[in-house]
A and B are shown apart, each in its own frame.
Chain A
Amino acid sequence: MPVVDPAAADGVFSLLWLVIALPALGAAVLLLGGRRTDAWGHLLGVATVAGSFVLSLVAFVGLLGRGADDRAFTQHLYTWIEAGGFRVEASLLYDPLSALFLLLITGVGALIHLYSVGYMAHDPRRRRFFAYLNLFVAAMLVLVLADDYVVLFLGWEGVGLASYLLIGFWQHKPSAAVAAKKAFVVNRVGDLGMALGIMLMFATFGSTAFAEVSRVATEATDGVLTALGLLLLLAACGKSAQVPLQSWLLDAMEGPTPVSALIHAATMVTAGVYLVVRSNFIYENAPVAQTAVVVVGAVTLLWGAVIGCAKDDIKKALAGSTMSQIGYMMLAAGLGVAGYAFAIFHLLTHGFFKANMFLGAGSVMHGMDDDVDMRHYGALQKAMPVTFLTFAMGYLAIIGFPGFSGFWSKDKIIEAGFEDNLVAGLAALLGAGITAFYMTRLMLMTFFGEKRWEKGVHPHESPKVMTVPLIVLAALSVLGGVMLLGDWIVGFLAPVVGEAEHHTPAVPPIVMTLVVVAVVAVGVATAWLLVGRREVPRTAPQRVSVFTRAARADLYGDAINEALFMRPGDRFVGDLVTFDNAGVDGAVNGTAAAFGGMSGRMRRWQNGFVRSYALSVLVGALVVLVAMLAVNLA
């Protein structure tokens, strides 16, 4: 397992700080500049992220020019915290893993910024929207460029804040405000794990820097390492909407669609996967925690997929799918060295096709007067040809149509899963089938069949500024698989995550691929039989099976949370309040009253007469005198 041991940044890598500084500056200018920046704020927002992308690209090219063992750089900015033995350097770490994330965040980020110029054109608070987006990008970049868990935590909280602000961007809608709050609260649970993990790390290793921790990780006891792994997993679950902290992601769709695309599909929600992969030096030594990661991934990939099957809201269906796909990545990350690279690979391809589809969904909503109910869609392939075609590319990618990017990445995870154990493999395989089902359902309901449009709705294609990003992302969805050519990505990431030794799988890969394709075909066919051949009712049928009902209710995620945590919590807090009022306040107020009474009695000595004061001086002097003599001469 590799040790993080970066060289000092020089040349083009010394511009790394600028990658973060640009969007941070953009956010600062837009937030502090106020209305004066309304006219050109969105352009600045796009420009800063585009600038960061160019820098990331230059740095990436620079990285490719180096040897495989010379691809990690650190740029020291300043000492952030120094307290006794605790020292946190504000340093940036640029290695193959961060490099890929940089490209994803700034590249997809820039496209989504561009798309937002059109999508938010009529929103009076567009400038503020771009400020928050820039803030998000800056925070996300801090997260992936950190070389210390504390600095990472700074970015982690920063993206949490940006996510909160953007989910609740339309704060006039109570549902958006509630969703933002929910996301924030659920994420707090994960953040608690992160904070405790960092503390435990410092207590164990005396440092929180990747380099130091990775160097001495093996010296800790198994118990500590397992605890660390589980705490970090808890953090990852919160940020990446994994079971049991999955409930916030569906509500988060209340945010504007570009936000859903950027934050809740392509980048932020994958931070959990990044954390697990980045912490490989801990997980490799904590097999129990690794197994937990696999379990979480497997459960979530089915959980999300099932939810995706029952949703009529296009964005929620996609959100369920996101949850499920991140489950795949988690599963891969939990497989250890064999899976890290594939987790990241799937993360990247997912970033492309899911962003593509979310933006496509946004484009559809744009044309349908912000209606999100797929039962009101239908036959849109003619009205919105560009959106349809780009969306179709994303669709083919996600179901794993041979040749498309998702095919390569998902296939690898399923293969690796089967190699690890049968249950994980079967879950992944089953997930692929369900994915094919719900995505086909979504496609059919949106773009094919009869028109079920509301009155007065005239779907139209979106403006260029929105379709161009769609086209670019569609192209990436198709071609993302090239990263696997000659196992390039595996070799590229090897310095960070290690490389598994090759051995011949029990089942030949080609057989496995055929099985997967067959399962996917079954999923597609089922969807065709159930949705495509029948007429879609304009209102959701109420007389449905228990399973559909459960899936519609997000598999009772909220109900479980409420029953297990909220209500007992409510009761506990109520009891605490009672205790606080009666016990604690009683004691405090009693003490205060006692002192007040004492004060009232003592002030009588301060009667204003010099003779009394003089007497008190005299008595005091006598007491001092007698005390001195008595104590010392006795």
Chain B
Amino acid sequence: MSSAAVLAAEFQAPSFEYSLLSPLLVIFGVAITGVLVEAFAPRGSRYLLQAVLAVLGVVGALVATVIVGLNLVSRGGGTAHGSIAAEGAIAVDGPSIFIWGTVLVLSLVSVLLFAERRLEGGVLSFAGQAAALPGTEAEREASTRGLEHTEVFPLMMFAVGGMMLFPASNDLLTMFVALEVLSLPLYLLCGLARRRRLLSQEAALKYFMLGAFSSGFFIYGIALVYGYAGSMNFAAISAAVSGRAGGEGLLLGGIALLAVGMMFKVGAAPFHAWTPDVYQGAPTAVTAFMAACTKVAAFGALLRLFYVAFGGARWDWTPMVWVIAILTMVVGSVLALSQTDVKRMLAYSSIAHAGFLLTGFVGAQQVADVGIGEITSLQAVLFYLVTYGFTTVAAFAVVTVVRDAGGEATHLSRWSGLGKESPVVAGVFAVLLLGMAGIPLTSGFTGKWAVFTTALAGGAWPLVVTAVLFSVVAAFFYVRVIVLMYFSDPVGEGPTVATPSILTTIVIAVGFAATLALGVVPGPVLDLAAAAGEFIR
């Protein structure tokens, strides 16, 4: 029998559920179209084309997500719904849909931030010509000619696509590909700042190198787990883990290494070191996008990987996550105390938030464990991600409008007296900071409440006590900024608040409104998270 005959006997055209995957397809389609626009559209018209295309693409994907979400099939006795698509590679279930929606809404907001042109005097806040060396004649020429890299839009769309695929992937290989698809455009975007380009390029390189390093761990972990389970598929891995067929070392090593890759992406200590440098160096719009969306996507993937594939080995990985969570909260909260740069401070704040999220993650309350009216760990973490995402995007958007002659005035000393200079901006920022600190009546409080209660219900009370203690430490540095803005006199000429276009204004307004609304009436979004149900396998 020839090899061709073997193929003929076995080959079946793979089925591909186009309608279920339509949100992903729309985003990738828009990204590729964006590359073509870049190739063929005249320079003058690219900005508008790209921006509109990106907005329409994200909105389209959002609509598709809603439609897919409304038509999910119920499974597992009503606690979960969805289907496995693309020959087992992608799971389109409640949590996927929720994360897709969150990522897309936050991306929509971020696109507006990317498209802001007024703050830099009519050009994007990205490098005019990335290839031009900083401080050279070529750079000055690019600047005077008003060059722009409108490639940022398709790059961002690729990243969004990766972020959607990442938490929905149902096997390790798809997950790895998604991880790279979301990471590579981000590495590039980080290096594209218009101002302080050396810092930006350094950030990009650091991010890339450390990202590649951690990807190495991830793929090593994949290899070990494959060696243990004999399959990349989560359901198969789950079955193997529950069966415990022996070869414990392979499994535990694989879990540990996969955790390293994941923890790097969510910015948990001790794999957080890139976060402050990259958040500070990257263009602020990218930082906003990255801080909000990457964290959402990475936590989604972390939840799926550990709850679905390694759910049976929960008692094996829980101690490790405890240690990482505590370390992350300590590092994030304590190091933020001594920061003098707003963006770095927010970076450490995002590390601390990762710690709080891990606290919720570790509770591992499943549908079977909770009573009526309570929520599972998964739902609590999803809700926290929503609250965190909006507040973060808006906070970074505020950073873009506080400026001096050299661009954004990110040094904290420049922020003193902002309350007098611009009561509105300072007031909004103060509310956002209070939100991050978790003061009641803001979204941060309801989010923290959700994850801490599920963690408590899961028996992780020492972790919750630690989390509450370090929330207090964290509150200190948030409030310090508020004190600085309102009760300190401006240094020198003081900060100026540039008037942004409607785009950035929308971003700030949406984030601000979400911070307050989710604090006062969290019900609808909590219900939505509860409706997301469990992962399917």
Contacts and interface: CB of A to CB of B under 8 A. Distances in A.
A41 B210 CA distance: 71
A581 interface: no
A608 interface: yes
A596 B336 CA distance: 10
Interface in B25-80: none
A606 interface: yes
B209 A610 contact: yes
Contacts of A606: 273, 276-277, 335
Looking at chain A's contact residues, the main secondary structure is: helix
A599 B206 contact: no
Nearest to B214: A617
B213 A628 contact: no
Nearest to A627: B320
A625 B256 contact: yes
B7 to A, nearest CB: 41
A24 B169 CA distance: 60
Nearest to A592: B476
A621 B276 CA distance: 20
A606 B280 CA distance: 13
A602 B334 contact: yes
A603 B336 CA distance: 9
A596 B255 CA distance: 36
B373 to A, nearest CB: 12
Contacts, number: 94
B509 interface: no
A629 B263 CA distance: 18
A620 B260 contact: yes
B40 to A, nearest CB: 38
Interface string A363-396: 0000000000000000000000000000000000
Interface residues of B, number: 39
A600 B339 CA distance: 9
B270 A620 contact: yes
B226 interface: no
Nearest to A631: B319
Contacts of B449: none
A614 B210 contact: yes
Nearest to A615: B273
Nearest to A619: B270
Contacts of B206: 610, 613
Contacts of A546: none
A457 interface: no
Interface residues of A, number: 30
A526 to B, nearest CB: 64
B206 to A, nearest CB: 5
Contacts of A633: 248-249, 252
Contact of A602 (B213, B257, B260, B335): B335
Contact of B248 (A596, A617, A632): A632
Contacts of A619: 270
Nearest to B207: A610
A628 B316 contact: yes
B274 interface: yes
A621 B217 contact: yes
Contact of B331 (A602, A618, A625, A627): A602
B273 A613 contact: yes
A596 B210 contact: no
A488 interface: no
A98 to B, nearest CB: 35
Most buried by B among A600, A605, A623, A632: A632
B253 interface: yes
A595 B337 CA distance: 8
Contacts of B323: 627
B460 interface: no
A624 interface: yes
B252 A632 contact: yes
Most buried by B among A600, A618, A625, A627: A625
B354 to A, nearest CB: 14
A628 B334 contact: no
A629 B335 contact: no
B210 A613 contact: yes
Contacts of A628: 252-253, 255-256, 316-317, 320
B3 interface: no
Contact of A595 (B217, B317, B334): B334
A560 to B, nearest CB: 42
A598 interface: yes
Interface string A581-611: 0000000000010011011101101101010
B271 interface: yes
A627 B321 CA distance: 11
Contacts of B336: 599
B12 interface: no
